[in-house]
């Protein structure tokens, strides 16, 4: 797994990875407790999960050397949160 720092082109309709994920249907959600920090209140975050299998193109200067490759892209994005009761907070 890698974390992307570039919004790469995909071969389908010259769309970008982030736009493809944005238009994808959610495949599920999960909750995770976020502990209190120095500047953050404790909360429960609801994470929405999306994924797609796409073919990405190599950078323009390398298109003569490399072929497009198929990768699986996954997104877990916080959609909502709620405060955790004070009994669950860390001092």
| Cβ-based neighbours of 51, under 8 Å, separated by 6 or more | 24, 27, 72, 73, 74, 75
Helix (H, G, I), strand (E, B) or coil at 56: strand
The answer to whether the predicted template modeling score (pTM) of the entire model surpasses 0.75 is no
Going by C-alpha positions, the residue among 85, 87, 78, 86 that lies closest to residue 31 is 78
Residue 88 predicted with pLDDT over 60: no
> Could you tell me the end-to-end alpha-carbon distance of the chain, in angstroms, rounded to an integer?
35
> In the prediction, which pLDDT does 84 show?
53
3-56 pLDDT tens trace? 777 888 888 777 888 888 889 999 999 999 999 999 989 999 999 999 999 998
Q: Could you tell me the residue range of the domain that residue 49 belongs to?
A: 17-84
Q: What is the largest CA-CA distance in the chain?
A: 60
Q: Tell whether 71 is covered by a domain.
A: yes
Q: How many domains would you assign to the chain?
A: 1
Q: Tell whether 5 is covered by a domain.
A: no
Q: Tell whether 9 is covered by a domain.
A: no
> In the prediction, which pLDDT does 90 show?
39
């Amino acid at each position: 797994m890698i974390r992307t720092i570039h919004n790469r082109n995909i071969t389908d309709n010259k769309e970008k990875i982030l736009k493809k994920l944005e238009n994808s249907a959610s495949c599920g959600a999960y909750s995770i407790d976020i502990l209190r920090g120095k500047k953050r209140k404790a909360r429960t975050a609801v994470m929405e999960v999306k994924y797609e299998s796409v073919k990405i193109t190599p950078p323009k200067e390398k298109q003569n050397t490399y072929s497009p490759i198929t990768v699986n892209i996954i997104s877990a994005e916080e959609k909502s949160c709620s405060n955790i009761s004070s009994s669950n907070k860390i001092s």
